[in-house]
Structure 1
Amino acid sequence: MARTDTLEALLAVGRADDVALGAPGRPGLTYGALRDLIAQVRDSLLAWGLGPKDCIALVLPNGPEMAAAFLAVASTATTAPLNPAYRADEFAFYLDDLQARALVVLEGQEGPAREVARERNLPVIELSPSADGPAGHFTLKSDLPRTSPPPRAEETTGSDVALVLHTSGTTARPKLVPLAHANLTASARHIGAHLALGPSDTCLNIMPLFHIHGLVAAVLSSLGAGGRVVCTPGFNALRFFSWFEEARPTWYTAVPTMHQAMVERARRNAERLATHRLRFIRSSSASLPPQVMEELERVFGVPVIESYGMTEAAHQMASNPLPPRPRYAGAVGLAAGPEVAIMDEAGTLLPPGALGEVVIRGPNVMAGYVNNPEANARAFTHGWFRTGDQGTLDGAGYLRLTGRLKELINRGGEKVSPLEVDTVLLDHPAVQQAVTFALPHPKLGEDVAAAVVLREGTSATERELRDFVASRVADFKVPRRIVLLTELPKGPTGKVQRIGLAERLGLTS
């Protein structure tokens, strides 16, 4: 019986002559050529003695070659995509923690990843993009000894780990998340079904491909539906609309900070937007402010579908539905793959409307962190995975988040949701972006602070913004400090991290 829960099975739906991978200014790679490439990579890896139980790190720039390399390597071994911007000490930590057996880098490209591999005698596999070939096509070479003919591979199964990623590690040592083929294919199919994706759809990917959002929501869900994904070099607000005009996507997915940047530029690109063929815009990986959702829908003229995801769930957990079913600003939607429930600290599931921790279970949820029994004991209760997010489920099944439990501000015993304060600040006509965070306080433990970016051509003082918030919320929720910035500090995936922000902004001394 043919397996249906592996990446190769997921890619089998695409018609051989249809384009699977594209890139701005380049011809596309067809499904037939992609499947041939995967077979060639499998032969090479097996000949080099690398197989299903081996972890291979990928340090490649964003683009179609990175997408194709992930698909090809993950079909035979375990992939570990790493951020190319890491420093040498970061590469050393991640490569050691992964117990990587090989490292894939661009041919001829020197850098800290290659240097660390050299220090550890870690084999390096060089990827060479095909200069005159279609987007995503490449060849591999290595000094590893080859066996000829290559040994037969064990049949890949749904339980084999295809992808390992680290958690963000904002408050502790990063944990290692293993995602099996079955986890990834389930999540990709959930997203495809929820968004009604098909062969006529084109996704413009601007998300980094070392992150679960780009890998699963953009790449795997598109290819699992027989559609096309156009892979850009990464997010660039100045180039987005030229890529948009060329690719003519039916959808794209991004984090809220990216959407906010594009809303500001969309008004200057009205001609390029006039003839677009978008069906919808998707937002995930952080809460989308209702004001931004409304602006996006007004400017692009299509529905914005907010989704809720995390690495441990192979990305998607909940999503607002497509029209004509209702979607609500401020809600991350209905369960869209795994089961979703609300649980109290004691492990009791709570009724609709009750506030508690969001928990999930289902085929896309990881089995457990690697070699971390303590973390697994904390993370799983009665078979449910604790997400670390606080929220409520209403009677119709719509999930609303009030924030990460570890990001809630404890001001002298009063709990403040940063998301609530963000939303109020964004109602001010001069505020373009806002992020609320905890400020250490000698007596209260924590106090409320916020960082704000003003709209171009507007002005507002810290006092005016504090007075505005004070007119709408209880006094203990009003930020005692509001810092005006030209740009919010963001992590490598474009998300703003609240934890540690006071220190990064110099507010703790």
Structure 2
Amino acid sequence: MTDTLAALIGAQDTSAPAIGAPGRDWLSYGGLADQAARVAAALHGAGVGRGDRVAIVLPNGPEMAVAFVTVAGVATTCPLNPAYKEDEFVFYLEDLKAKAIILAEGESGPAHAAATRLGLAIIRLSVEAQTPAGSFALTAEGNAGTADTAAPGAEDVALILHTSGTTSRPKIVPLLQSNVAASARHIGASLALTPADRCLNVMPLFHIHGLIAAVSSSLAAGGSVWCAPGFDAMKFFGWMEEARPSWYTAVPTMHQTILARASRNAETIKNVPLRFLRSSSASLPGPVMEQLAATFGAPVIEGYGMTEAAHQMASNPLPPRAQKPGSVGVEAGPLVRIAHEIENRLVEGVGEIVISGPNVTPGYEGNPEANAKNFFEADGRRWFRTGDQGQFDDEGYLSLTGRLKEIINRGGEKVSPLEVDGVLSAHPAVAQVVTFAIPHPKLGEEVGAAVVLKEGAEATEAQIRDFAGERLAAFKVPRKVVILSEIPKGATGKLQRIGLAEKLGLVEQA
């Protein structure tokens, strides 16, 4: 059994195409292996090796995809959102205990400033003209010390991501090589991926969805990935014509904007028939699933994933089985069960969704309290609590009935209300703040904040939003700030996030 990402990729036909991009030649699996050897030499030469943590801050595209899979064959990858501000980078780099950071040649923005402040080894990535997609050179600025040059094994950490939590700090999720390899195989099996398949990737590659569902599962199956430089609905159908994909994976908001442009691109849809479309990271409205299937003449496979599961937990099956709108499908890799929401036991009916399997993280790093709360033993297995409530129908299809946590899911981007609270609370005019979800027709949820000003202080909604915008990535900035004399409280006097949008009249009545 191949239990590392490098072993899965190394087993493929070296002459087959692996990585593509707009206007670039294809990088073959043989070329990818050569690139992996160059990355290993560069990292080892910079004093970085097995067990060391390497932050990767690059724009979306073939270099980011290849950097992830090749660095994972040497060290531990820590992809970060390039949109973060300097203070956010400082927090994440310190929290991750990063030893080095990979930045594009000439990059001198917030990530570089943060890395310089922390004294990290900076490794520059440069691309020569006319080289295949995903080919690059790494050049170290300084040396990080000594390195373990042994190849990572199944129990080494391949990937670390942060997940927003209801605690004041985002939680660190380490995913082992075996977790990532298992998830790549699970996704490949549920989508019946073969070397003939090609994925058009529009997902960000600092997020579990793009890293595992698009890139890792394709390469583990010997297929190819055509890497767009991000998502752009205006360019999507042109990319389809160039890439000739058999599938793409996206979040619901992307699918909706693609649908809005589909009628004027009917010829492309006809010329580039898709085997299936995939949706994940947020609930896909049933009518959107049906419209996508009718427009593309292909099944829409909705998946249910999360970072702690190295992405996929459940998936709507391919034909001839049904794809049920409003359901996230059947278990697709790990065991999926329903547990009592408080007691550590499995139950029938409605309850908290729990999972157990080879793709599940061994536990949050440095957070015994979160591990005690989220993992339990029952029926001879270790189960992870997802924080989602749901139930199975009589055919084994899972439906989500609500979220037990207060995390805001803005089109697949998870926002911790407590993190936003902390930033807004630092505004000199703000006395009290509570961040909450506002239902949104396309994104699912939008970020809102209720604020009480200090006595005698003045601040406008725009000023508070500008203050947040200087300190938070754009997707975390509240789109609506309501200034109140008092924030509604629950019966116990506790500030309540859930239902606050309705209490404040911010929900459109149907």
TM class, shorter-chain normalised?
A: 0.7 to 0.9
Whole-Å Cα distance in 1 between the matches of residues 76 and 127 of structure 2? 21
Q: Secondary structure at the match of 1:103?
A: strand
The answer on 1:229 being equivalent to 2:225 is yes
Indicate conservation of the 8 Å contact 1:14/1:20, yes or no.
no
The letter for the 2-side match of 1:235 is: F
The answer on 1:350 being equivalent to 2:355 is no
Question: Which of 342, 356, 365 is equivalent to 1:361?
Answer: 356
The letter for the 2-side match of 1:259 is: H
Partner of 2:159: 163
| Cα drift, residue 113 of structure 1 | 0.7
Whole-Å Cα distance in 1 between the matches of residues 14 and 440 of structure 2? 50
Indicate conservation of the 8 Å contact 2:81/2:206, yes or no.
yes
Indicate conservation of the 8 Å contact 1:29/1:135, yes or no.
yes
Whole-Å Cα distance in 1 between the matches of residues 148 and 85 of structure 2? 37
Per-residue CA deviation, residues 34-69 of structure 1 (Å, 9 max, x unaligned), is 011111211221222211111010000000000111
The answer on 1:378 being equivalent to 2:373 is yes
Q: Secondary structure at the match of 2:26?
A: strand
| Cα drift, residue 115 of structure 1 | 1.0
The answer on 1:325 being equivalent to 2:324 is no
The letter for the 2-side match of 1:205 is: N
What is the identity percentage for the equivalent residue pairs of Structure 1 and Structure 2?
Answer: 57
Q: Secondary structure at the match of 1:388?
A: strand
Partner of 1:393: 392
Q: Secondary structure at the match of 1:142?
A: strand
Whole-Å Cα distance in 2 between the matches of residues 448 and 26 of structure 1? 42
Q: Secondary structure at the match of 1:197?
A: coil
Q: Secondary structure at the match of 1:240?
A: helix
Partner of 1:423: none
Partner of 1:88: 86
Whole-Å Cα distance in 2 between the matches of residues 268 and 131 of structure 1? 34
The letter for the 1-side match of 2:129 is: A
The letter for the 2-side match of 1:124 is: I
Structure 1 393/32 Cα, relative in aligned 2: closer, same or farther at 3 Å? same
Per-residue CA deviation, residues 236-259 of structure 1 (Å, 9 max, x unaligned), is 111111001111110000001111
Partner of 2:14: 16
Partner of 1:188: 184
Partner of 1:140: 138
Whole-Å Cα distance in 2 between the matches of residues 234 and 448 of structure 1? 26
Indicate conservation of the 8 Å contact 1:13/1:225, yes or no.
no
Give 5+ residue unaligned stretches, structure 1.
410-417, 420-436, 438-444, 455-490
Structure 1 329/453 Cα, relative in aligned 2: closer, same or farther at 3 Å? closer
Whole-Å Cα distance in 1 between the matches of residues 109 and 155 of structure 2? 34
Per-residue CA deviation, residues 135-176 of structure 1 (Å, 9 max, x unaligned), is 0000010133499xx977224210100100000346631000
Question: Which of 115, 126, 129 is equivalent to 2:127?
Answer: 129
Per-residue CA deviation, residues 233-281 of structure 1 (Å, 9 max, x unaligned), is 0011111110011111100000011111111111111121121121000
Partner of 1:205: 201
Per-residue CA deviation, residues 195-233 of structure 1 (Å, 9 max, x unaligned), is 110011000000000000000000000000000000000
TM-score scaled by length of structure 1: 0.80
TM-score scaled by length of structure 2: 0.80
Indicate conservation of the 8 Å contact 1:106/1:128, yes or no.
yes
Structure 1 35/101 Cα, relative in aligned 2: closer, same or farther at 3 Å? same
Partner of 2:3: 5
Whole-Å Cα distance in 2 between the matches of residues 174 and 222 of structure 1? 29
Whole-Å Cα distance in 1 between the matches of residues 407 and 51 of structure 2? 40
Indicate conservation of the 8 Å contact 2:13/2:29, yes or no.
yes
Q: Count residues in correspondence.
A: 429
Partner of 2:403: 404
| Cα drift, residue 449 of structure 1 | 6.2
Q: Secondary structure at the match of 1:238?
A: helix
Partner of 1:106: 104
Structure 1 295/151 Cα, relative in aligned 2: closer, same or farther at 3 Å? closer
Indicate conservation of the 8 Å contact 2:121/2:142, yes or no.
yes
Q: Secondary structure at the match of 2:51?
A: coil
Q: Secondary structure at the match of 1:239?
A: helix
Structure 1 448/370 Cα, relative in aligned 2: closer, same or farther at 3 Å? closer
Whole-Å Cα distance in 2 between the matches of residues 158 and 508 of structure 1? 52
Whole-Å Cα distance in 2 between the matches of residues 215 and 388 of structure 1? 23
Q: Secondary structure at the match of 1:368?
A: coil
The answer on 1:293 being equivalent to 2:289 is yes
Give 5+ residue unaligned stretches, structure 2.
411-416, 418-433, 444-468, 485-510
The letter for the 2-side match of 1:346 is: E
Question: Which of 481, 487, 493 is equivalent to 1:506?
Answer: 481
Q: Secondary structure at the match of 2:3?
A: coil
The letter for the 2-side match of 1:138 is: F
Whole-Å Cα distance in 1 between the matches of residues 235 and 44 of structure 2? 40
Structure 1 296/508 Cα, relative in aligned 2: closer, same or farther at 3 Å? farther
RMSD after superposition: 2.7
| Cα drift, residue 407 of structure 1 | 4.4
> Relative to structure 2, which stretch is displaced further, 7-16 or 240-249?
7-16
